[in-house]
Amino acid sequence: MKRILSMLIATVMLLSYATMSLGTNVVMGDVSGDGKVTLSDVSMILKYIAKWEVTIDPAIADVTGNGTINLTDVSRILKYVAKWDISLTPQDKPGTTPPADDIYEFVEADFDKEEFKFLHYGETATDFHDRYIWSEDYSGGVIDHAVAERNRLVEDKYNVKITAEECGPAGEATIRMQAGQCDFEVIYEWGIRLKNIGVFGMLYDFNELNYISLDKSYWVPTATEGLTVADRLFITTNMVTMNSIAWVQTYFFNKNMMDEIGYDYPYEYVQSGNWTYDVLLEMMMAAEKDVNRDGVMDKNDRYGGIDGDTVLKGVCAAPLVEDNGNGTYEFIPYTEEMVGQYSRYKSKTGNVQNMFILDYTDGEDISGFPSQYVAARYLSFGKDHTLFIDGSLDMTKEFAYMKSDYGIVPPPVAKAGDEYSCGMDHFAPMFGIPIQVDDPDMTAIVFEYLAYESERFLLPSYIETTLKTKRMEDQRDYAMLDIIRNSVDYNWIELYLWDSELSTIRHKILTAYNGGRLESYYQKCREELAEFTQKITSLE
């Protein structure tokens, strides 16, 4: 029970701090009696469930109206407080069943012990291996327990057996499908590898599958929107894996170093909409220091941590295409505003000093690290040599034992008031359903419920192990995570065309900007874009 409580308290901290008054009658969920439903009510109910010494009215806490107080009631109230589309209608009599608008209905079926198999990517480097798909280990860590429990619930509901085969999924799936031997239901593979299967017509369009509810939160609607090409969705993600959080672009900052240079933590800048690249550059310049005073800036000294090219890419991060709504896209190579931003920041970033991150490993014993990149990140940011480091949220495990405190924020914006945008790594593992799958309805039904139970069990566990147990107890970090989650930018061009001219066009245009003489290059990109979208729309 203590484990469950800590998991859900972490979720409470993650969600928004919004409160909503429900009226003058008895307010379902308002166990504190102050006339509104807030996180304080959630905390009291959690303590009641955990049998702490707390007094509440069970009839008011029972928002599902089933006569008991349990974690389903907590989940419902959490969603309401976080402004999900949930209604806790005031009841004249406590205990009356509230509307079941957030009670999902799932197909009833018995699949007679059918196997539900994932082809799961396998890597030798432990920092690339996740455990979100399959686990039998109830006695292991929080994640293992959540995965095992989630899978058991799904197996019991539909009488299936969930399995995972580690391999090179893209290549293995292609070989088996070409041989007519599709013995798996889901492919779980790096996006840039999986996309090759998609463009050759070997994956289902998720929109064509029955029993899949892409508008539900556990299907990550931002992924559906960002990865849809000409109304086709061959590759996407959901809450079965935590990659929709773990692989999102995040900035880490060193709190001790920020204190030393006399700057406020960036939290308030983010909340007020003033977290810009100008502020970032000012902080980074203040952090630069020849620590050992030898007149040479090397790995023994201190840097801002974000290189100039990253800043320039950030200030020019506008959509490359605009959807015409008819299966075609308008190519937008650049705007005059973007050119102005690039020119202004080019001069600013010219004074930024930085080191190539792998240089931090020179002469160091990195045998205890899973990869040279993990070692380099720890030896730079983890050893107080950089004020910032950009990466993904999953990197928190790498900094669990660093001496200084640290926090997280989204990447900055070019102008105050702009919306934050956190890019999704196109290497992130995603899902595809093979077109030859034996029973597409069974696959969709089980996968749908698996995603739903993942949001209930796996997400709180991930939050606990990623933030809470990694010494990030500052509630402002949970607020930042909420902003990051709501600002994820899935980009189908970066996924499908990452190795094309389009993937590098912005950099090429802005570094060699010379007016209309680039028109022939633009035309080449337009043709490449049109050819790709035509290929997608022609797939049967």
- The CATH number given to whatever domain includes residue 368 is 3.40.190
**Of 476 and 119, more confident:** 119
| The two structure tokens encoding residue 503 | 């993937």
Q: What is the pLDDT of residue 133?
A: 86
pLDDT tens per residue, range 36-88? 887 677 767 877 775 667 788 888 888 877 777 876 777 778 767 655 666 67
Length of the chain (residues)? 540
pLDDT tens per residue, range 431-458? 999 999 999 999 999 999 999 999 888 8
Considering only CA atoms, which of 244, 254, 291 is closest in space to residue 378?
A: 254
Same domain? For 261 and 405 the reply is yes
Q: Are 143 and 130 in contact (CB under 8 A)?
A: no
SS3 content of the chain, % helix, strand, coil (to 5): 45, 15, 40
For residue 191, report the phi and psi dihedrals to the nearest 5 degrees. Answer: -55, -45
- Give the separation between CA 127 and CA 148, rounded to whole angstroms: 21
3-state secondary structure 295-338: CCCCCCCEECCCCHHHHHHHHCCCCCEEECCCCCEEECCCCHHH
**pLDDT over 70 percentage in the chain:** 82
Considering only CA atoms, which of 484, 439, 436 is closest in space to residue 463?
A: 484
- Give the separation between CA 106 and CA 421, rounded to whole angstroms: 34
| The two structure tokens encoding residue 418 | 């702009």
Q: Residue 6 belongs to a domain with what CATH number?
A: 1.10.1330.10
pLDDT above 60 (res 148): yes
- Give the separation between CA 252 and CA 355, rounded to whole angstroms: 17
pLDDT above 80 (res 236): yes
Task: Point out the least confidently predicted range of 55-69, 94-108, 169-183, 384-398.
Answer: 94-108
What element of type H or E holds 407? Answer: strand 406-409
Same domain? For 138 and 265 the reply is no
Q: What is the pLDDT of residue 502?
A: 73
Same domain? For 196 and 281 the reply is no
Q: Which domain holds residue 188?
A: 114-245+426-466
- Give the separation between CA 504 and CA 512, rounded to whole angstroms: 12
**Number of domains composing the chain:** 3
Q: What is the pLDDT of residue 4?
A: 42
Highest mean pLDDT among 120-124, 353-357, 511-515, 526-530 belongs to 353-357
| The two structure tokens encoding residue 133 | 């798909």
| Residue 48 within a domain | yes
- Give the separation between CA 493 and CA 331, rounded to whole angstroms: 11
What is the pTM for the complete model shown? Answer: 0.77
Q: Are 236 and 260 in contact (CB under 8 A)?
A: no
- Give the separation between CA 174 and CA 31, rounded to whole angstroms: 56
- Give the separation between CA 185 and CA 243, rounded to whole angstroms: 20
pLDDT above 80 (res 13): no
Rounded to 10 degrees, the C-alpha dihedral 117/121/122/125 comes to -150
Pairing mode, strands 422-423 and 429-432: unpaired
Same domain? For 168 and 67 the reply is no
Task: Point out the least confidently predicted range of 53-62, 168-177, 195-204.
Answer: 53-62
For residue 190, report the phi and psi dihedrals to the nearest 5 degrees. Answer: -55, 140
**Of 280 and 101, more confident:** 280
- Give the separation between CA 247 and CA 424, rounded to whole angstroms: 6
Same domain? For 234 and 178 the reply is yes
Same domain? For 373 and 418 the reply is yes
Same domain? For 358 and 267 the reply is yes
Same domain? For 132 and 30 the reply is no
| Residue 230 within a domain | yes
Q: Residue 121 belongs to a domain with what CATH number?
A: 3.40.190.10
Pairing mode, strands 186-190 and 249-254: unpaired
pLDDT above 60 (res 530): yes
Q: Bridge partners of 163?
A: 117
| Residue 538 within a domain | no
pLDDT tens per residue, range 155-164? 999 999 999 9
DSSP 145-210: HHHHHHHHHHHHHHTEEEEEEEE-HHHHHHHHHHTT----SEEEEEHHHHHHHHHTT-B--GGGST
Q: Are 28 and 88 in contact (CB under 8 A)?
A: yes
Q: Are 275 and 266 in contact (CB under 8 A)?
A: yes
Same domain? For 151 and 181 the reply is yes
- Amino acid found at 479: A
Q: What is the pLDDT of residue 140?
A: 59
- Give the separation between CA 391 and CA 123, rounded to whole angstroms: 20
pLDDT above 50 (res 406): yes
- Give the separation between CA 178 and CA 436, rounded to whole angstroms: 10
Q: Bridge partners of 423?
A: 489
Q: Bridge partners of 254?
A: 406
Strands, E assignment, 1-101: 20-21, 36-37
Same domain? For 397 and 364 the reply is yes
Model confidence at 127, in pLDDT bands (50, 70, 90)? very low
| Residue 471 within a domain | no
Pairing mode, strands 488-489 and 422-423: parallel
Same domain? For 251 and 217 the reply is no
Same domain? For 211 and 226 the reply is yes
Q: Bridge partners of 249?
A: 392
| Residue 106 within a domain | no
pLDDT tens per residue, range 287-316? 999 999 999 999 999 999 999 889 988 888
